[in-house]
Amino acid sequence: MFVFPLLVIFSYLFDGIARKTKFPAVILLMLTGIAFRMLADAYGYKDFKMIEALIPVLGTVGLILIVLEGALELEISKEKLPIILKGFLAALIILLLNIVCISFLLQWMLSMSLNESVIYAIPLSIISSAVAIPSAANLLKQDKELVVYESTFSDILGIMMFNYVIRQLTAQQPLISSTSLINLLLQIIGVIVVSVLITYVFYRLLQSITHNVKFFLILSLLILVYAIGKYFHLPALVTIFIFGVFLSNAKVLLPTFMKQYLNLGQTDKSLHEFHILTAESTFIVRTFFFLFFGFSVVISDFVSVEPFIYGLSILAIMLVIRYLYLSISTLHFKPTALLYLSPRGLISILLFLQIKELNFINNRSIAIDERVLLVVILSSMLILIFGTMRKTKIEETPVVYEFDSDNFEDDYQS
Q: What is the per-residue pLDDT across 26-41, written as a single tens digit (0 to 9) for each?
A: 778 888 888 888 888 7
- Predicted confidence (pLDDT) per residue in 151-191, tens digit: 888 888 888 888 888 888 887 777 777 777 788 788 778 87
The pLDDT, as a whole number, for residue 312 is 92
The pLDDT, as a whole number, for residue 139 is 72
- pLDDT range class, residue 396, cuts 50, 70, 90: very low
Quick check: is 370 in a domain? yes
CATH number of the structural domain spanning residue 144: 1.20.1530
The pLDDT, as a whole number, for residue 315 is 92
pLDDT at 335 over 90: no
CA trace torsion 303, 309, 310, 315 (10° rounding) = 120
CA trace torsion 383, 142, 277, 351 (10° rounding) = -40
- Predicted confidence (pLDDT) per residue in 277-289, tens digit: 888 888 888 888 8
Quick check: is 18 in a domain? no
Quick check: is 260 in a domain? yes
Which of residues 240 and 364 earns the better pLDDT score? 240
Is this model's pTM higher than 0.75 or not?
yes
Quick check: is 402 in a domain? yes
Percent of the chain with pLDDT over 70: 86
- The count of domains in the chain is 1
Q: What whole-number distance in Å separates Cα of residue 265 and Cα of residue 99?
A: 44
HSE-up (13 A, CA, CB side) for residue 246: 23
Residue 180 lies in domain = 52-268+303-413
Q: Is 384 exposed, middle or buried (0-12, 13-18, 19+ CB in 10 A)?
A: buried
The pLDDT, as a whole number, for residue 266 is 62
Give the C-alpha distances (Å, rounded to integers) separating 411 from 127, 173, 401, 404, 405.
48, 70, 8, 7, 9
The CA angle 27-31-34, to the nearest 5 degrees, is 140
pLDDT at 397 over 60: no
Instruction: Give the CA diameter of the chain.
Output: 86
Report, in angstroms and rounded to the nearest whole number, the Rg of the chain calculated over CA atoms. Answer: 23
Quick check: is 250 in a domain? yes
The pLDDT, as a whole number, for residue 403 is 44
Lowest mean pLDDT among 42-51, 259-268, 398-407: 398-407
Quick check: is 246 in a domain? yes
Quick check: is 362 in a domain? yes
Of the candidates 291, 384, 369, 324, the residue with the CA atom closest to the CA atom of residue 124: 369
Q: Are 344 and 127 in contact (CB under 8 A)?
A: yes
- Predicted confidence (pLDDT) per residue in 181-221, tens digit: 788 788 778 877 877 787 777 777 777 777 677 777 778 87
- Predicted confidence (pLDDT) per residue in 314-334, tens digit: 999 999 999 999 999 887 778
Quick check: is 105 in a domain? yes
What distance lies between CA 388 and its chain's CA centroid?
19
Contacts of 208 (CB under 8 A, 6+ apart): none
